[in-house]
Structure 1
Amino acid sequence: MIWPSHGSNPQYLYEAMGLSLPAQYHDFSANINPLGPPPALKEKWQDLYQEIFTYPDPFATKLKKRIENQEQIPGQSILIGNGGAELITLVARMLTGKKVLLVQPTFSEYEKACRANKCEFLYHQLREPHFELKLDELRAKLVYADAIFLCNPNNPTGIQYSSSTIISLFEACEKENCLVILDEAFFDFLLEYDSFIPYINRFPNLLIIRSMTKMYSIPGIRLGYLVAQPAIVSELSELQSHWSTNTIALLAGELCLQNKTFIQETQNYISNERNRLFHFFKHQEYISSFSKVNFYLLQDPLLENQLPLFKFLLNHGIVPRHTMNFPGLDGRWLRFAIKGVEENNHLMEVLTIWRHHH
């Protein structure tokens, strides 16, 4: 069977599974902020419409200025992109033909983008259920790698690696002349987070990618940014297509970044719901990953393969993310986003029914 390779767009999943899409379903497969976009976007939507008549600023000056002030970095260290996906694609182009190390399980698009650019791959597999990142085990592989992709907090596990481990990784990679691409698509969901952005001054081999579509719930708009030393940023910007980030995205980005309380509300909400869900899983004897963000892995330990549970959930209008194309997970887990209170309640109800019958 052909598994859809991405979360969201449930119609393709039901089709692949030979099931018909129910009239009512909850999509737990896309890791988007359940609180929706910041209210300011709706309030200013008419103003944004006025701007579709103008070409976007190719230098994204105003949005960059906001990021400069917020992160205390110079503008020439920032590259604005059409979502994290475009930035990953640009990095992959820069790495054409190089050897890339992937720490798995991880977001499948790093490999897809690098494969399109004739890269060779090395893999480092983290062991379930703790998925610990042990630098000693990685070190030997860094000798052969030109670049390493690390997603932190990690997708699909939701696990946050310790700051000391990550800084040691920067140092080890610098010694081996290996680029570090740190994907922080979900960093702003973390209650405790030390920014790695100041380290770009110290490490010319460090690139940090940040998505703005997850926290601000705007995946349909596409916006993200990359931070690195100016030489890398200028190399990447030369590979970027002209007008790659549209006017609406740039303005939406400015509005989103003005909204500090929105992030705190989101973090508190996610943290409360996650505690509630994890308490339930433990009680019902499900196993979940030690996630610190807005999604997590789940498995029924009584099943060898989670496919029967997956189908059961789909039939009950709950759409999780399968893990067939996350190497090292191979379908032994399902990934769920943390949604609204009602959806999370519905999930718990359905998992209770499953537990009582199996």
Structure 2
Amino acid sequence: MYKSVHGGDIYSEQNNSLGKNIVDYSANVNPLGLPVSVKEAIKNSIKNCVNYPDPLCRELIEKLAKYLNIKKEYLFISNGAADVLFKLALTVKPGRAVLLAPTFADYEKALRTVDCKFTYYELQEEKKFIAGYDLLKKINSRVDLVVICNPNNPTGKLIDEDLLLEVLEKCCRTGTKLLLDECFMDFVDGDKAYSLCSKLDKYHNLIILKAFTKTYAMPGLRLGYCMTSDVSLIKRLHENGQDWNVSIPAQAAGIAALDEENYLLASKELIRVERQYLTAQLEGLGAKTFGSEANYIFFKLEKPENLAELLRKHGFLIRECNNYHNLGPTYYRIAVKTRYTNRALIKAIKEVRRNALSLLVIIDGLGDDHIPALNGLTPFQYAEHKNIDTLIKLGTYSEVSICENDFIPESLSCILRLLGVQQRDFPTNRAYLELLAHGRDISEYEMVLRCNLVSIDKDNTLVSFNGQGLSAESMAEAAKACDEFWQGIEFMHLSMYRNLLILDKDRRILDNCVISPPHESMGKNVDLLLGELKQQSLLLKHFIEGTAKRLERFNHDDIRYMLYPWGPSERKTLPGFQALHGLKGAAICEAEIVRGIAKGLHLTAPKIAGVTADIDTDIAAKATATLNMLKEYDFVLTHFNGADEAAHRYDYQSKAEFISAIDEEFLEKIINNIQEPLRIVICGDHVTSSINGKHNKNAVPVVAAQINTAAIPVKINNYQDILTFLMRASDMRG
């Protein structure tokens, strides 16, 4: 079955669920609609339809010749400009032709009917699809016809007038006809518009094509014409077609339309204003535009790849340009309409585009103190990060406290805040989310506590919070030694020194018991740190003491090991990320708390081979996974935990090296491989001091930038600005 390659096929849409509510942006028709006088002329002509139409369109040609200030013998009128094209091909029968590419498809289609061979002059995107003087090299005595659309369809670009005159002159010298399509010239602003109509008397090889169709919004009537001083060609055009090719209503409409001077002036002004509006909105949405001078806008938009299909489902028909020679599937053309419908179209594009993609890179514990051994710099300042520096040049750098004075500086609350969760919805402590990260849930009658494998000295002073002195294998053995049925307690080993305890809910522990986090309590007496917990829960007292005996075989050099329960938490339902922001989200992470946050917010969080929650993670694998997720999701959180772990170990050198590795192995890959418009923020969640190993609420580095777009960067003055920048609904590009 034949399928039209042009815009304006609203009839195919009437058979789908959209019915007749489709708004057609695929056809470049005057947005003011059919003039009232033209409607009346059509109505009044109906009574004459009992007769054949005037085969020579005498009255229309008389009036049109005066309007154009040319001889009436120069005019041939037919059933639309496309019909004139096919008649010209049949009449001229060119053997060789030169066509611009991209340009209107029916030039090629018409020439193929007479087996014409053609050469393309390919317009270049980097030159904004504007023809250059090298076009003249394509013209020689072997070329019978050159076809130029001015302004060009679909690009809307005008050819330089001086170049066009040189093309005309060279065509004259080589005996080549120049077919100049000026169908959209009526929509060009007055100071830029020009026609070669005044050159007809001098150049008999010049043929100018025009139409009432687009100018006066009457494509359903079909009325177009050509003009040339080659009157023998006009005679042959009549001979090569049937006589009654322009209906009585079409002729009447054309006669009436030629009086509509105010209508044309109003049309030009509306199109000028709305073309500027649509261009700005499209560029704000990440589209590349090329400066159309016509009543349509040609643009390139990489994502989504099925933009036209998605918009069709929203009730808008736009012109896909992938069937134009020299164009691919990411080019589109839209008509310029009224502000009301233009706003609706932009809104629909925003909905289907769902934003520029957003990437939040959290380097856990990125903030730090100034380290004397690093020349008084912080690990971030000391690290090499050329890609971060590039992003700062494109965007902005600031230092912001994420927690401010609202809560203690720890990853759970800080990351939830960066993801837009309100503080009232924060879980009490992070144990529940770490449990979710491992596919386990609890009932409303249970609670869960974090439980670190810690080390203490002979004076019961806390030496480490992370099983320092034991290998990963030894920590796993230690967990296994403690993992047995304890009456009333379920022990769950996570990784390394991290464990969870599940037991019946006890409000005394949840609400009243103060347990200092082990990583904040080094150098303190463990009996004092856990004294209140042991008093509130005899069950946990027996657990702590019983497991300490089981761990005695791991003791060495006056260092003993024990389990340290802390951070009690109960079941808490988080709001869904998509419900919060209207965005599909994913997370690339390995730290239990972040995977738990992802689970709670319904963010997709794939498991990735080689990825860990420390500095030994496979950074390149995280980059690959991030790029893959950005192909499917509007928002991606990528979390690196190693900087925090290094700082807790007082290892500022490794922290700086890890930041450098993220810059080189992760950010460089993202920047070099992402092609879509992208908002990116790189920041810490809190400060983790490499001097004392503790978190604090001080400001952390924040880098915010937009890539693959000309949008103006925003300033980040507080955490709300980060949210606005990353999560706002598709307005990065507008």
Q: Work out whether the TM-score is over 0.5.
A: yes
| TM-score normalised to structure 1 length | 0.92
- Conserved in 2, the CA contact under 8 Å of 1:310 and 1:320? yes
Comparing 343-352 with 280-289, which one deviates more in the overlay?
280-289
Alignment size in residue pairs: 352
- Conserved in 2, the CA contact under 8 Å of 1:48 and 1:251? yes
- Matches of 1:325 and 1:182, distance apart in 2: 22
Query: Given the superposition, is the C-alpha separation of residues 58 and 24 from structure 1 closer, same or farther in structure 2, using an over 3 Å criterion?
Result: closer
Tell me: higher relative CO, structure 1 or 2? Use CA pairs within 8 A at least 6 residues apart. Answer: 1
- Conserved in 2, the CA contact under 8 Å of 1:40 and 1:255? yes
Query: Given the superposition, is the C-alpha separation of residues 186 and 75 from structure 1 closer, same or farther in structure 2, using an over 3 Å criterion?
Result: same
Partner of 2:295: 294
Equivalent positions of 1:1-358 (< 5 A) are: 4-12=4-12, 20-21=17-18, 24-96=21-93, 98-128=95-125, 130-192=128-190, 193-229=193-229, 230-301=231-302, 303=303, 307-353=305-351, 354-356=353-355, 358=634
Structure label with greater radius of gyration:
2
Aligned-residue offset at 1:210: 0.4
- Matches of 1:207 and 1:13, distance apart in 2: 36
Query: Given the superposition, is the C-alpha separation of residues 254 and 163 from structure 1 closer, same or farther in structure 2, using an over 3 Å criterion?
Result: same
Partner of 2:378: none
- Conserved in 1, the CA contact under 8 Å of 2:177 and 2:205? yes
- Conserved in 2, the CA contact under 8 Å of 1:287 and 1:298? yes
Aligned-residue offset at 1:44: 3.4
Please tell me the residue identity of whatever aligns with 2:45. L
- Conserved in 1, the CA contact under 8 Å of 2:185 and 2:194? no
Aligned-residue offset at 1:4: 4.2
Structure 2 SS opposite 1:101? strand
- Matches of 2:138 and 2:42, distance apart in 1: 52
Please tell me the residue identity of whatever aligns with 1:173. C
Please tell me the residue identity of whatever aligns with 2:236. E
Aligned-residue offset at 1:23: 5.8
Partner of 2:546: none
Partner of 2:406: none
Aligned-residue offset at 1:20: 4.7
- Matches of 2:298 and 2:99, distance apart in 1: 19
Please tell me the residue identity of whatever aligns with 1:5. V
- Conserved in 1, the CA contact under 8 Å of 2:42 and 2:252? no
State the Cα RMSD in Å.
2.1
- Matches of 2:177 and 2:150, distance apart in 1: 16
- Matches of 1:240 and 1:219, distance apart in 2: 21
- Matches of 1:256 and 1:280, distance apart in 2: 33
Please tell me the residue identity of whatever aligns with 1:351. I
- Matches of 1:137 and 1:210, distance apart in 2: 23
- Conserved in 2, the CA contact under 8 Å of 1:182 and 1:209? yes
Please tell me the residue identity of whatever aligns with 1:284. L
Structure 2 SS opposite 1:10? coil
- Matches of 2:88 and 2:158, distance apart in 1: 23
Query: Given the superposition, is the C-alpha separation of residues 13 and 327 from structure 1 closer, same or farther in structure 2, using an over 3 Å criterion?
Result: farther
Structure 2 SS opposite 1:48? helix
Identity %: 28
Aligned-residue offset at 1:11: 4.6
Please tell me the residue identity of whatever aligns with 1:215. T
Query: Given the superposition, is the C-alpha separation of residues 347 and 90 from structure 1 closer, same or farther in structure 2, using an over 3 Å criterion?
Result: same
- Matches of 1:110 and 1:214, distance apart in 2: 18
- Matches of 1:27 and 1:246, distance apart in 2: 25
- Matches of 2:159 and 2:13, distance apart in 1: 31
Structure 1 SS opposite 2:125? coil
- Conserved in 2, the CA contact under 8 Å of 1:11 and 1:21? no
Structure 2 SS opposite 1:307? coil
Aligned-residue offset at 1:10: 3.5
| TM-score normalised to structure 2 length | 0.46
- Conserved in 1, the CA contact under 8 Å of 2:121 and 2:138? no
Comparing 195-204 with 137-146, which one deviates more in the overlay?
137-146
- Conserved in 1, the CA contact under 8 Å of 2:216 and 2:257? yes
- Matches of 2:98 and 2:295, distance apart in 1: 26
- Conserved in 2, the CA contact under 8 Å of 1:3 and 1:13? no
Structure 2 SS opposite 1:273? helix
Structure 2 SS opposite 1:167? helix
Structure 1 SS opposite 2:208? strand
Aligned-residue offset at 1:69: 1.0
- Matches of 1:244 and 1:238, distance apart in 2: 12
Please tell me the residue identity of whatever aligns with 2:155. T
Aligned-residue offset at 1:24: 3.0
